[in-house]
Amino acid sequence: MPPTDSVLNPPPARPDITRAVCRGATRHLRERGYAIVKEMTFANGRRGDIVALSPTGELLVIEVKSGIEDYRVDGKWPDYRDYCDGFLFAVAPEFPRQILPDDVGLIIADSYGGELLRDAPRHPLVAARRKALTIAFARLSAQRLALIEDPPL
């Protein structure tokens, strides 16, 4: 019996999907003028997959979901809303979008780029939290750049 197509071309693994969606979403956001930090931890201990800072200082949190299981087991995403002006999901083109809530933004992405399908409803941060998050964003970015330029011995 000859091998089936799924044996010859297995579906991508979850980490590969996550990387591809993350790459495409960040490319899309950069094209829109955002500065990007991946894996930023907030004061509540939650870690945003992508945090995007606009030229005007607006902060977005983008949660990357690799598939249905990833979405269903992750109930912590509402906790990110207190740390951004807008919250979005980024998913692969084949992700069943109908299971996502309507009150969040949506980016469809693959490893080549992304497209904003639904803008995130805005809920502006209070000034003190915006300042703290912007400083944390800048410090994290600078620390990561310093490690690239001068890695530990």
Of residues 87, 84, 133, 92, the one with CA closest to residue 110: 92
pLDDT tens-digit readout, 33-91: 999 999 999 999 999 999 999 999 999 999 999 999 999 998 889 999 999 999 999 99
Q: Map out the domains of the chain as residue ranges.
A: 5-149
CA distances in angstroms from 37 to 13, 81, 100, 143, listed in the order given = 24, 17, 24, 11
Residue 16: helix, strand or coil by DSSP?
helix
72's tokens = 């269903």
How much is the pTM?
Answer: 0.89
